[in-house]
Amino acid sequence: MFGRRRFEVKTTDQLRHMRAAGLVVANALRAAAAATSPGATTADVDRAAARVIADAGAKPSFLGYHGYPAQVCVSVNDEVIHGIPGPRVLAVGDLVSIDCGAIVRGWHGDAAVTVACGGRTDDASARLSEVTKEALWAGIAAARVGATVGDIGHAVASTVAAAGEGYGIVDGFTGHGIGSAMHMDPDVPNVGRPGRGPRLVAGMAIAIEPMITLGGDDTDTLSDGWTVVTSTGARAAHWEHTVAITPAGPWVLTAVDGGGLADGVALASLG
Ligand code: MF3
Ligand code: CO
C-alpha cells in the first residue's frame, strides 16, 4: 500500500513449506497427545513428539530457542504455557497443554492442543478446554483478507465472554506472525476491537493462540525461568494453530484438513 511491506508475505512455494511444517506439527501433537497417559512423564510426551519430527526429517523449533531445553512445552493444570518436559508423572484428569513447533526448509509451523490425561477430567476443566478451542476457531474464522488483527482478538474474546462468567484471558502473552521465524510481527492478541490493528493481506501467516483460565488473567513465571502458571492456581488451557491468510479463506496449516480448506484451493487462490 505504501510500497513497503510491514509483514512477511509468503510466496506459494514458501506456504507449501509452511504447510509441510504444519503437518509435521499436527502429527507430532497427535503422537504427543496419545502419549499423555496416566503414569507417563512429561518427558515421555516430549519424546513422542520428537520422534515424529525426526522421522519427518524436520527440525524442532523450540529446542535451543532462547535456551529452551526440549522440543515441546508440556503445561499441566495451573501451568499455562512453557512447561518444561521432565520427570513429572501425569495422572488421570490432569489438564495437559502441549505446544510444538517444527521447521521444514527454513519455514515454521507452531500449534498447541490441550488434552485430558486418561481421556477424562472434571467438567469445569473439560469445558475450559472446549471454550478455548472454540475461541481459537472463532479467531481463525476472522482471519480473512481485509480483516484486522483486532477482529481476531475480538472474535476470541467475545467467544470466551459468551461462554459465561469466570474465564480469564491470560494477560501479557499473544499469538504472533510466523514464517521464516517462529515469532514475527504482528503480535496477535486474544483481545481486540473490530477494525483496529494491522490489516491482514493474502500471503501473511499468523499463529493464533488463546490461553484461557478458570480464574484470573495474571500469571507468574516459575524459578525454572520458563513455566508460566496462573497466579490464582486455577487451571488453564491453550489451543493454537498456524494460519495462512488466503483469498479463499483461512488455511489452517497445522490442521490435517487445513481447517476445511483444501491445499489446492488455498494455493490456487493465491495465484
Ligand atoms: N510455541 C510457543 C508459542 O506459541 C513458544 C514456545 S517458546 C519455546 O509462541 F521456548 F518453548 F520454544
Ligand atoms: Co505460538
pLDDT of 139: 99
CB of 178 shorter than 6 A to ligand 1 = no
Mean pLDDT by 10 residues, the chain (271 residues): 72 98 99 98 99 98 98 99 98 99 99 98 98 99 98 98 97 98 98 97 98 98 98 99 98 98 98 89
CA triple 70-54-102, angle to 5 deg = 60
* C-alpha 99 to ligand 2 mean position (Å): 8
Residue pair 56/27 in contact (Cβ under 8 Å)? The answer is yes
CB of 101 shorter than 6 A to ligand 1 = yes
Rounded CA-CA distance 79/3 in Å is 43
Q: Is 141 exposed, middle or buried (0-12, 13-18, 19+ CB in 10 A)?
A: middle
CATH of 4-269, one of 3.40.50.300, 3.50.50.60, 2.60.120.40, 3.90.230.10: 3.90.230.10
* C-alpha 11 to ligand 2 mean position (Å): 21
* C-alpha 37 to ligand 1 mean position (Å): 23
Cα–Cα distance list, 53 to 30, 100, 134, 153, 192 (Å): 12, 10, 27, 31, 34
pLDDT of 92: 98
pLDDT of 1: 43
pLDDT of 5: 64
pLDDT of 3: 43
Which ligand 1 atom sits nearest the alpha carbon of residue 110?
A: 1
DSSP string, 33-91: HHT--TT-BHHHHHHHHHHHHHHTT-EESSTTGGG--SSEEEEETTEEE-PPPSSPBP-
pTM equals 0.98
Residue pair 212/171 in contact (Cβ under 8 Å)? The answer is no
**Helix, strand, coil percentages in the chain from 3-state DSSP, rounded to 5:** 30, 25, 45
| 199: helix, strand or coil | strand
Which ligand 1 atom sits nearest the alpha carbon of residue 112?
A: 4
Rounded CA-CA distance 10/46 in Å is 30
Q: How large is the angle between the packed helices 42-55 and 12-34, nearest 10 degrees?
A: 140
* C-alpha 110 to ligand 1 mean position (Å): 8
Q: Output phi, psi for 124, to 5 deg.
A: -65, -40
Q: Output phi, psi for 261, to 5 deg.
A: -105, 120
Strand 241-246 to 249-252 pairing: antiparallel
Q: Where are the domains of the chain?
A: 4-269
